Amino acid sequence: MVTQLIKGNTAVIIGALYAGCDCYFGYPITPASEILHEASFYFPMLGRKFVQAESEEAAINMVYGGASAGHRVMTASSGPGISLKQEGISYLAGAELPCVIVDIMRAGPGLGNIGPEQADYNQIVKGGGHGNYKNIVLAPNSVQEMCDLTIKAFELSFKYRNPAVVLADGVLGQMVEPLKFPTNAVQPQVDTSWAVAATSQTRQNLITSIFLDFEQLEDFNNRLQKKYELIEHQEVAYEKYMMEDADIILVSYGISSRICRSAVEQARNKGIKVGLFRPITLFPFPAKELFKLAQTGDSTFICVEMSNGQMREDVLLATRCMRPVELVNRLGGNLITFDQVMQKIEEIAKGGST
Amino acid sequence: MVTMEDYPDIETEWCPGCGNFGILKAIRKALVSVGKAPHEVLIVSGIGQAGKLPHYMKCNTFNGLHGRTLPLATGSKAANHDLTVLTVGGDGDTYGEGGNHLIHAIRRNPNITAIVHDNQIYGLTKGQASPTSELGMKTKVQTHGVVNTPLSPLSLAVSLDCSFVARGYAGNIEHLAGILEEAIKHRGFALVDILQPCVTFNKLNTFKWYAERVYRLDEEGYVPDDRIKAFERSLEWGDRIPIGIFYKKEKPTFEDGFGTLGEGTLISRPKDQTLVEELIDSFM
C-alpha cells in the first residue's frame, strides 16, 4: 500500500481518479483551486476530460451534460461558487442524475474571506436550490477521508442516481497529512440503463426534470421522498469516540471534530466523562442514533461547529429537546480553539450553563 | 477645484511592479481632469486583483460579486443617475464570469465607464488562463497550453455598436488617463480595456512585450467614427497592437429611457406624495 504526504484538495482528485471519474468541470476559487489544478494535471494524462469553464454556472451545467450521458462527473468550488451552482444542483436532483460536488467551505456571507467556516451546512444539507430535493452529504475530517469519501460519494451518487456532496472546509482542503492510497480502482464506465449515450439501447431513455402534469410531478416528488427515506434507512454513517459512559457528548463534524477529539482526551485526563459523536453523513443525518443517546442517558450535548449553530438545529430536532444542547462556535474564518471547547466542558461539568 | 490631493495614495496589497499601479494613477488623474470630487464618484468592483482597486480610492466605492459589476453599477445608476459611475474588474471577472452582463450592458447603454484590467490571467486565484489568455500560453491549469481562442473584447463591443470603445496600456499612464477622461465625459456606456502586465503570473505579456508592440491610433491620424474601421483595428493583434479610442457614437442612454429621471434624482427632488396618494385613493 502506497502512503504519501498529500494536501486535502489533492486527495479529492486522487479519490476521484480511483472512483473512475472521467470528466472534471471547474472554475478557480480560493481555497478550492488546487482541486482544479490537480484535475487539469491528472485527467488529461489518463485520457480523461478536464474543462476550465467561464463561470461556476457553466461548470455545473457541464456536469449536468456529462452526467446525462452516463459518465462519472464532478466539480468543486467554495461557498460563493457553490451558491452559484445551486440552480444546477436542483436540476440534477430533479433529473435524478449522479454527480459529485466538492465544497471547500470558506467564510461568508457574501464575499466574506478565505478562512475556514462550516456555514454552508444549510445550503448543502437543506437544499439551497428550489424544490423538494436532498443531496447526499459526506463530511470528511482528514486528508484520508477527503480521498475515501470522494470515492464513497461517487458510489452513493450512482447507487441512488442523486447528486452527492463532499462538504469540507478551507483547513481540510489546504492541510497536508499522510494518505494511504486506495487499493481498488474503478474504471471509467457509462451506465447505459438510464443515460442518453447515443446508442440504440439508450434511445428510450429520458433525462428531464420537467413534469407539466401536476399529478405526475406530485408522483415524482413522492418517489423522490421514498428514495431519501431509503437513503436515511441504509446509508447513515457516524463515528463514536469514548462514548460508552459519556456524561457530556460533543457533536461535531469535519475539522471541528478533530479539535473535539483532543478535548475529549484532555477532559478524560481530568476525570470528566466526555465523548465525541461525529456525523460522517450529514444527509442522511444520524438522527436516530442521537435520539437514542438523548433517551438513554442524562447527558448534555455540546455542538461544536464553525457556524451560527446550523448543525445544532438538526441535533435539537434529533434529540427532540429532551436534553440540553449547547453550542461552541467561531465565525468569520476563525478556527475553534481547543481551549474554547475545554472551557465549555468544564463549565458544564461543574453544573453550570445548562 | 478638484486636485490630486482629493485622491490621496492609500497603501496597496498588489505585487511590486503590477500594472494595476498605472491604472490606479490614471483613474485618479482622469477624475481630477473632469473635475469630479470624491463624493460625486462611485466605483464598483467585482472580485479579483482589479477588484481591490476601490479599497485604494477615496470616494464612494463598494465591492460587488465576481462578474456582476455591470448589473450592480446599472442599479446604482438607475437609483441615482447624477453619480459618475465607474466599474473596475479584470478579464476573468468582466469577460468570463460576467461575459453575459457585458453584452447586455452594451445594449442597455447606461452612462457608465467600464474599466477592465486585462492582464490575460487570473491573478487573485494564482495564475489560471482567462478568456483573453493567448493560445498556447502555459499555466498551472493549462499545462499543455491554452487551446481556446482568446476573446477580442474590442471586436465584441464594436460588433454590438457599443457607444464608446477604447484600449489603454498600463505602461502609458498619461495616454491612459486621457482615454479615461474621454470615457467618463462620454454620454453612454464606455468600455476601456487596459493592457496590464501581471508580473507574477503572466510571463508572456510583459511590459517589454507590450512596449515593443503598442502604437497610438491618434498618432496615425485615426478618427474613431467608423464602425467598420474600428472593427478592423480591433482585430489587429500580434506585432502591432493599437491603443486609443477605437469607436465613439452618441446614442440614447439607459437613463434617457426613464421619463422620470428628467425630474432629477430622488435625493434632490421635493418630497411630494401626491401621486402616491392619488394611486392609493384609486384603489379605495
Query: Could you tell me whether strands A238-241 and A274-279 are parallel, antiparallel, or unpaired per DSSP bridges?
Result: antiparallel
The complex scores an ipTM of 0.91
The mean per-residue pLDDT over the stretch B53-71 comes to: 96
Q: Do B96 and A52 touch (CB under 8 A)?
A: no
Please give the grid coordinates belonging to residue B81: 443617475
Q: Do B97 and A29 touch (CB under 8 A)?
A: no
Does any CB of chain B come closer than 8 Å to the CB of residue A174? no
Range with lowest mean pLDDT among A74-83, A154-163, A183-192, A228-237: A183-192
Question: Which residue of chain A is at minimal alpha-carbon distance from B92?
Answer: A54
For residues B259 and A154, the model is more confident at A154
Q: Distance (Å, rounded) from C-alpha B103 to C-alpha B155? A: 12
Select the residue from A7, A9, A52, A61 to test the B interface by mutation, using most B Cβ atoms within 10 A.
Answer: A52
The mean per-residue pLDDT over the stretch A6-15 comes to: 98
pTM > 0.90: yes or no? yes
Q: In the prediction, which pLDDT does A354 show?
A: 46
Q: Do A111 and B65 touch (CB under 8 A)?
A: yes
Domain ranges in chain B are 4-282
pLDDT in tens, B112-132: 999 999 999 999 999 999 999
pLDDT in tens, B245-276: 999 999 999 999 888 777 788 888 887 889 89
Chain B residues in contact with A46 (beta carbon < 8 A): none
Q: Distance (Å, rounded) from C-alpha B222 to C-alpha B243? A: 11
Q: Do B99 and A33 touch (CB under 8 A)?
A: no
* Position A352 confidence tier, pLDDT thresholds 50, 70, 90: low
Does any CB of chain B come closer than 8 Å to the CB of residue A41? yes
The mean per-residue pLDDT over the stretch B100-111 comes to: 98
Q: Which residues share a beta bridge with A75?
A: A101
Closest listed residue to residue A287, CA positions, set A279, A276, A298 = A279
Q: Do B125 and A28 touch (CB under 8 A)?
A: yes
Q: Do B143 and A40 touch (CB under 8 A)?
A: yes
Task: Check pLDDT > 60 for residue A353.
Answer: no
Q: Do B141 and A29 touch (CB under 8 A)?
A: no
A21 Ramachandran zone, left/alpha/beta (phi>0; psi -120 to 50) = beta
Residue B221, Cβ density class (10 Å: 0-12 exposed, 13-18 middle, ≥19 buried): exposed
Amino acid (1-letter code) at residue B174:
E
Chain B residues in contact with A9 (beta carbon < 8 A): none
The mean per-residue pLDDT over the stretch A5-13 comes to: 98
Closest listed residue to residue A329, CA positions, set A37, A116, A135 = A116
Nearest neighbour of A55 by CB, restricted to B67, B122, B126: B67
Give the end-to-end CA distance of chain B in Å, rounded to a whole number.
Answer: 53
From chain A residues 88-127, the ones with a CB under 8 A of any chain B CB are: 110-111
The mean per-residue pLDDT over the stretch A142-150 comes to: 98
> Between the CA atoms of A257, A259, A260 and A261, what dihedral angle is there, to the nearest 10 degrees?
90
The domain made up of B4-282 is a member of CATH 3.40.50.970: yes
Q: In the prediction, which pLDDT does A1 show?
A: 77
pLDDT in tens, A306-342: 999 999 999 999 999 999 999 999 999 999 999 999 9
pLDDT in tens, A259-312: 999 999 999 999 999 999 999 999 999 999 999 999 987 999 999 999 999 999
Closest listed residue to residue A80, CA positions, set A14, A29, A25, A133 = A29
Nearest neighbour of B97 by CB, restricted to A44, A54, A111: A54
As separate numbers, helices (DSSP H) first and strands (DSSP E) second, chain B gives 9, 8
Do residues A5 and A182 make contact, with C-beta atoms less than 8 angstroms apart? no
Q: Do B126 and A33 touch (CB under 8 A)?
A: yes
Chain A residues in contact with B92 (beta carbon < 8 A): 28
For residues A155 and A353, the model is more confident at A155
Q: Which residues share a beta bridge with A6?
A: A177
The mean per-residue pLDDT over the stretch B15-39 comes to: 97
Proportion of chain B in helix, strand, coil states, percent, rounded to 5:
40, 15, 45
Q: Distance (Å, rounded) from C-alpha A122 to C-alpha A134? A: 11
Question: Which residue of chain B is at minimal alpha-carbon distance from A110?
Answer: B65
Closest listed residue to residue A101, CA positions, set A75, A124, A66, A123 = A75
Closest listed residue to residue B202, CA positions, set B249, B170, B232, B154 = B170
The mean per-residue pLDDT over the stretch B157-162 comes to: 98
* Strands of chain B, DSSP E: 41-45, 60-63, 84-90, 112-118, 164-169, 190-195, 214-216, 241-248
Q: In the prediction, which pLDDT does B261 show?
A: 79
Does any CB of chain A come closer than 8 Å to the CB of residue B271? no
Chain A residues in contact with B131 (beta carbon < 8 A): 54
Question: Which residue of chain A is at minimal alpha-carbon distance from B123?
Answer: A28
